[in-house]
Amino acid sequence: MNYKNKMISVLYAVVIAVCGLGIAGQAAAGSGVSEVRPLLLAAADVSSANIFNRNLKKPKKHNPPPPEDGIHDTSNEATFSLQAPLEAYKGLPKTTFGNRVDWVKAIDQGLIKPRWDRLDSNEEPFVMDLDIVRPVKASVPDVVFPHRQHTEWLFCSNCHPAIFIPQKGANQINMSAILLGKKCGVCHGKVSFPIETKTCKKCHSKPKPKDWKPPLSEATLKNPWK
C-alpha cells in the first residue's frame, strides 16, 4: 500500500513537472504574455475613483504649440510653421510660473544671449548693481528690489521717471496697484514673472527683524479705553 501511494505521488510530481515545463516552454516561445495579461487586466479593472485629488481641477497643459493654444487660427497655414515654445525652451532653467522658464537664470548662465543692440551682437548691457530695500508696513518680509537683474534686460529710461520717480520715498507702491498693472505690474504679471502665491517671496525677501511688532494704528493709540 505504501509503495503504491509513493508511486502515485511520484506520478503526480512527473505530471506537474511536465505541465510546468510546458508552460515554461510556452513562456520562452513568447506566448507567455497570456500568463501576464490577467494581472494587467486586474490592475486596469480597479476603479479610478481611488486616485488622489479626484475632484480637483485637472492640471493645465503648459506651453502648447501655436495651433493648440486657443488664440492662433488653425485655418491659417502659417500657424503650423510657427515655432512651438517647448522647442525653444529645451535646456533652459525651469520655474513653475509664467513661461515656466527662469529667464534671469538663463541669461546669467549664458544659456541665451539676447542682443542689447538691434544689430550688434557684441554690445554689452549697462548693468547697475544696486539693491533698494523698501520697508513694508505689514508683517510680510520687506521688499528688496535688485537693479542688477532689471538692468540686464532694461534701460534706465524704461522705468525712470515715468513709472518710478528715482528718489527715495517718492513712490507709493501697493499690491493692488501692481495687480491692476501699475508700477511693478507694468511688466510683472504680463511678461516678467507673474504675481502668484508662488512668487511673493521673490520680492518680499528680507525678513523682518526678530523684535518687529506691527505698528499700532492711530485709532488704537488714541483709544481712551485702552
Partner 1 sequence: MALKNERDLGFKSLLLGVLLTLGLFGVSQPAKAEYADVVINNYADAAGMRPAVFPHWFHRIRFRCKVCHADLGFKFKAGGNKITMAKIIDGQFCGACHNGEVAWSVENCAMCHSGIPGTPTHFHGSTLQRLVAPAYRPLDAKKASKK
Q: Which residues in this chain contact partner 1 in the complex, by CB under 8 A?
A: 60-61, 63-64, 66, 68-73, 75-79, 81-83, 85, 88, 98-101, 103, 112, 114-119, 125, 152-155, 157-158, 179-181, 185-191, 194-195
Closest CA to 89 of 104, 107, 101, 105: 101
Which one, 157 or 217, has the nearer CB to partner 1? 157
| Amino acid, single-letter form, for residue 183 | K
| The CA-based dihedral angle spanning residues 132, 207, 93, 190, taken in that order and rounded to the nearest 10 degrees | -60
Which one, 7 or 86, has the nearer CB to partner 1? 86
Task: Name all contacts of 30-33 with Cβ < 8 Å and 24+ positions apart.
Answer: none
Cα distance between residue 141 and residue 184, in whole Å: 17
Q: Tell me the closest approach of the beta carbon of residue 17 to partner 1, in angstroms.
A: 57
DSSP 215: P
Q: Tell me the closest approach of the beta carbon of residue 48 to partner 1, in angstroms.
A: 20
All 3 cell numbers of residue 10?
511520484
Contact 158, 216 (CB under 8 A): no
Q: Tell me the closest approach of the beta carbon of residue 153 to partner 1, in angstroms.
A: 5
Q: Tell me the closest approach of the beta carbon of residue 78 to partner 1, in angstroms.
A: 4
Q: Tell me the closest approach of the beta carbon of residue 66 to partner 1, in angstroms.
A: 7
Q: Is residue 79 within a helix (H) or strand (E), and if so which, with residue range? A: none
Closest CA to 135 of 186, 211, 204, 199: 204
Cα distance between residue 104 and residue 93, in whole Å: 9
Which one, 47 or 157, has the nearer CB to partner 1? 157
Using CA atoms, how far residue 69 sits from 82, 84, 190, 194, 209, in Å, is: 12, 10, 17, 19, 46
Which one, 86 or 216, has the nearer CB to partner 1? 86
Q: Tell me the closest approach of the beta carbon of residue 130 to partner 1, in angstroms.
A: 18
Which one, 27 or 107, has the nearer CB to partner 1? 107
Which one, 35 or 196, has the nearer CB to partner 1? 196
